[in-house]
A = this chain, B = another copy of it.
Amino acid sequence: MKKYLIGVDVGGTSIKFGRFSLEGDLIEKWNIRTNHKDQGEYIITDIVKSLKSQVEISEIFGIGIGVPGPVKDDLIIHCVNLNWGTKNIKEEMKSLLQREDIIIKIGNDANVAAAGEMYKGSAKGYKNVVMYTLGTGIGGGIIIDGKPLEGVNGAGAELGHIVVDFKHNYRCACGKTGCLETVSSATGIVRLAKEYLIHFKARSPLRHFENFSAKKVFDYAKEGDYISRKIIEESMKYLALAIANVSLTIDPEIIIIGGGVSNAGGYLIDMINKFYPSFSSPFIKKANIQLATLGNDAGIYGCAYLVKWWNLKFLIKM
């Protein structure tokens, strides 16, 4: 009988599904809306229902599930976005699927995205990977020797909350000031831009808009607008500092930049590389810094990898 790996990436807005061959090739993908009703208590039944309608349950080898919150040894510590407290969804899934033998692995969404890029994306062939997902916030994922780093409390790789800015004192959603997320996320770039437009008098096409996106700031910077370039430089200087710090700590092979902001492409990587040497150490070889390539599919690939990795670890024959 054909067997498949299933990846389920649970987000605040939608739940993405992927069906993969045992070699990790994506066969089909689909998604459903995340149902927030009653403390998110229908999410698991929705997942099972969707799986049953799309896949022959007996053909599932294993399911990897990524969730937006800390996870330790397959136990979800909490997911603020889903209104979940501590939750063991493994047994619930097995019982709903009526298959006790199925392998179910749970991971944090940012770690799972890093695993996805390592499995089939721009970090393919590497085993020591750090990934920054630059979106509205900043997520961080770390893989060491092929294994996602969960940390003791399931909170490893909270890379968006490393303090890097001692100048602006922007307040982060986490309560602190100076977090990387406050200056290098999409929101952070716009925040910096609004301050620059007040403090500097130079002309800038940004002044034509009341509201604009981080993409706009990148676009004008690329076109040579002085203020936009200064904004991006400052924002990427903080990111370079954060990347250098994480490199000095765990000395990875490759650093992947993903999320919406990474659509700025090679220009963004060049900016990081410009500032990186002043924060890194001549003692250590510079990690390769690359753009993510899997986009929104990184999560489902990484979920499939979780099952794969678990099997390799225990040498279970697939």
Q: Contact between B250 and A162 (Cβ–Cβ < 8 Å)?
A: no
**Which residue of chain B is the closest to A244 with respect to CB atoms?**
B163
A294 and B286 CA atoms in complex are apart in Å by: 34
Q: Contact between B149 and A144 (Cβ–Cβ < 8 Å)?
A: yes
Q: Contact between A162 and B251 (Cβ–Cβ < 8 Å)?
A: no
A180 and B302 CA atoms in complex are apart in Å by: 35
- Copies of this chain, whole number: 2
Q: Contact between B174 and A282 (Cβ–Cβ < 8 Å)?
A: yes
- 3 closest A-B pairs by CB: A151-B251, A155-B284, A156-B251
State whether the Cβ of A278 lies closer than 8 Å to any Cβ in chain B. Answer: yes
Q: Contact between A253 and B284 (Cβ–Cβ < 8 Å)?
A: no
State whether the Cβ of A200 lies closer than 8 Å to any Cβ in chain B. Answer: no
The A271-318 residues at the B interface (CB cut-off 8 A) are 278-285, 287
Which positions in A face B, CB cutoff 8 Å? Answer: 70, 128, 140, 142, 144, 149-159, 161-163, 166, 174-176, 241, 244-246, 248-253, 278-285, 287
A174 contact from B154, B162, B283, Cβ within 8 A: B283
A278 and B245 CA atoms in complex are apart in Å by: 18
Q: Contact between A166 and B166 (Cβ–Cβ < 8 Å)?
A: yes
Q: Contact between A250 and B250 (Cβ–Cβ < 8 Å)?
A: yes
Q: Contact between B282 and A175 (Cβ–Cβ < 8 Å)?
A: yes
**Which residue of chain B is the closest to A177 with respect to CB atoms?**
B278
Q: Contact between A155 and B252 (Cβ–Cβ < 8 Å)?
A: no
Smallest CB–CB gap between A184 and chain B, Å? Answer: 15
**Which residue of chain B is the closest to A147 with respect to CB atoms?**
B145
**Which residue of chain B is the closest to A286 with respect to CB atoms?**
B153
* Chain B residues whose C-beta falls within 8 Å of the C-beta of A175 in the assembled complex: 282
* Chain B residues whose C-beta falls within 8 Å of the C-beta of A163 in the assembled complex: 241, 244-245, 279
A251 contact from B153, B245, B284, Cβ within 8 A: B153
Smallest CB–CB gap between A201 and chain B, Å? Answer: 26
Supposing A144-B149, A250-B149 touch, asked if A176 and B284 sit within 8 A by C-beta, the answer is: no
Q: Contact between A248 and B159 (Cβ–Cβ < 8 Å)?
A: yes
A283 contact from B155, B244, B281, Cβ within 8 A: B155
**Which residue of chain B is the closest to A69 with respect to CB atoms?**
B283
* Chain B residues whose C-beta falls within 8 Å of the C-beta of A140 in the assembled complex: 249
Supposing A166-B166, A251-B155, A251-B156 touch, asked if A161 and B246 sit within 8 A by C-beta, the answer is: no
A287 and B250 CA atoms in complex are apart in Å by: 18
**Which residue of chain B is the closest to A166 with respect to CB atoms?**
B166
* Chain B residues whose C-beta falls within 8 Å of the C-beta of A142 in the assembled complex: 249-250
A159 and B245 CA atoms in complex are apart in Å by: 8
**Which residue of chain B is the closest to A157 with respect to CB atoms?**
B249
A221 and B315 CA atoms in complex are apart in Å by: 57
A273 and B75 CA atoms in complex are apart in Å by: 29
A163 and B253 CA atoms in complex are apart in Å by: 20
A138 and B96 CA atoms in complex are apart in Å by: 54
* Chain B residues whose C-beta falls within 8 Å of the C-beta of A154 in the assembled complex: 251
Q: Contact between A151 and B250 (Cβ–Cβ < 8 Å)?
A: yes
Q: Contact between A249 and B159 (Cβ–Cβ < 8 Å)?
A: yes
